[in-house]
């Protein structure tokens, strides 16, 4: 963004919970946006908004025990055992991720 000699960024705290940012070039407002904030001591903390939504899910438990007797080549009987305990959880959900990145360019050395 190219600016004139009289370019300014103005910060205004609105209602103690919102920071208004204005970019002004030669007295003309060229951009503005607002950021939610929380005052803490001498600082403004940017608010992080997070919503938690319970998602329905289905689960089932599998318990399996298998025992096998087999004749071995040396004339003996072999015994083999296998146990498995599993918990399967199936859930249904959705995701929406978005972001923003601002870039500011120095206009004067």
pLDDT tens for 62-86 read 888 888 888 888 888 888 888 888 8
**pLDDT > 90 in the chain, percent:** 0
Domains: count for the chain: 1
Residue 21 domain flag: yes
Residue 59 domain flag: yes
Q: Does 3 have pLDDT greater than 60?
A: no
Residue 103 domain flag: no
Q: Is the pTM of this model over 0.75?
A: no
What is the domain extent for residue 40?
Answer: 7-91
Query: Which of these, 27, 25, 1, 23, lies nearest to 12 by C-alpha position?
Result: 23
pLDDT for residue 60: 80
Structure tokens at 13: 């705290």
Q: Does 44 have pLDDT greater than 60?
A: yes
Residues 6+ apart with CB under 8 A from 58: 89, 90, 91
Alpha-carbon distance of 50 to 29, in angstroms, equals 32
Q: Does 49 have pLDDT greater than 70?
A: no
Residue 63 domain flag: yes
Q: Which residue has the tokens 């929380």?
A: 38
pLDDT for residue 2: 55
Residue 77 domain flag: yes
pLDDT for residue 51: 67
Residue 18 domain flag: yes
Q: Does 88 have pLDDT greater than 60?
A: yes
Residue 104 domain flag: no
Q: What is the largest CA-CA distance in the chain?
A: 100
Q: Does 38 have pLDDT greater than 60?
A: yes
Alpha-carbon distance of 44 to 18, in angstroms, equals 9
Residue 34 domain flag: yes
């Amino acid at each position: 963004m190219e600016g004139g000699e009289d370019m300014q960024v103005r910060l205004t705290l609105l209602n103690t919970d919102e920071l208004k940012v204005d970019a002004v070039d030669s007295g003309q407002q060229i951009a503005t946006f607002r950021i939610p904030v929380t005052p803490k001591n001498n600082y403004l903390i940017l608010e992080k908004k997070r919503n938690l939504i319970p998602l329905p899910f289905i689960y089932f438990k599998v318990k399996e025990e298998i025992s096998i007797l087999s004749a071995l080549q040396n004339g003996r009987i072999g015994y083999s055992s296998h146990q498995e305990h599993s918990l399967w959880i199936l859930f249904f959900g959705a995701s929406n991720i978005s972001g923003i990145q601002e870039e500011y360019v120095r206009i004067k050395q």
